[in-house]
Amino acid sequence: MFQGETAITIDEKGRLAIPTAYRDLVARACGNRLVITYNPFESGCLFLYPEKEWERVRDAVNALPGTLSAHRRMQRNLVGSAAPVELDGSSRIGIPASHRSAVGIERRAVLLGMGDKFELWSEQAHHAQIRQTISDEDLSEHMLELRL
């Protein structure tokens, strides 16, 4: 559904405009309602889920047994920090200050369409990710089967 990379400017009120190419998709997928939460796997990044996709993820994460500390951390990072947002009349959403601060997003960011969700990266963290290459040790058998 969502794919591509877009440089984004965050305004002085902490809002970003959803790129024109995604506006109709967001309206159809979730009635302009998204959920923002932390990426529990990588720093410098937030996840933005369409509301229905978020509900699926939330329920799956909450179903994890709370007896393991890794499960509780994931539940806190994803569910406990989730913030619902809705596009305003100018197709903007407000990114909570606590979320921006925690991942280092200031004025410049990068929005990545990742299929079922968006990733919102601080510009610096995104550039650092691009500079990292996949080493032989990182390759899984699933990756080796890909035909790129």
pLDDT at residue number 123: 94
- Judge whether 116 and 53 are in contact, CB under 8 Å: yes
Domain count, the chain: 1
57-96 pLDDT, tens digit each: 999 999 999 999 999 999 999 999 999 999 999 999 999 9
Cα(122)–Cα(103) distance, rounded to whole angstroms? 7
Instruction: Decide if pLDDT at 143 tops 90.
Output: no
Token output for 43: 């720093």
pTM equals 0.91
- Judge whether 16 and 109 are in contact, CB under 8 Å: yes
Coil, strand, or helix at residue 16?
A: strand
Instruction: Decide if pLDDT at 148 tops 90.
Output: no
| CATH number reported for the structural domain that contains residue 96 in this entry | 3.40.1550.20
Percent of the chain at pLDDT exceeding 70: 100
Q: How far is CA 49 from CA 13, 56, 118, in A?
A: 21, 10, 6
pLDDT at residue number 142: 84
| Structural domain harbouring 124 | 2-144
pLDDT at residue number 141: 85
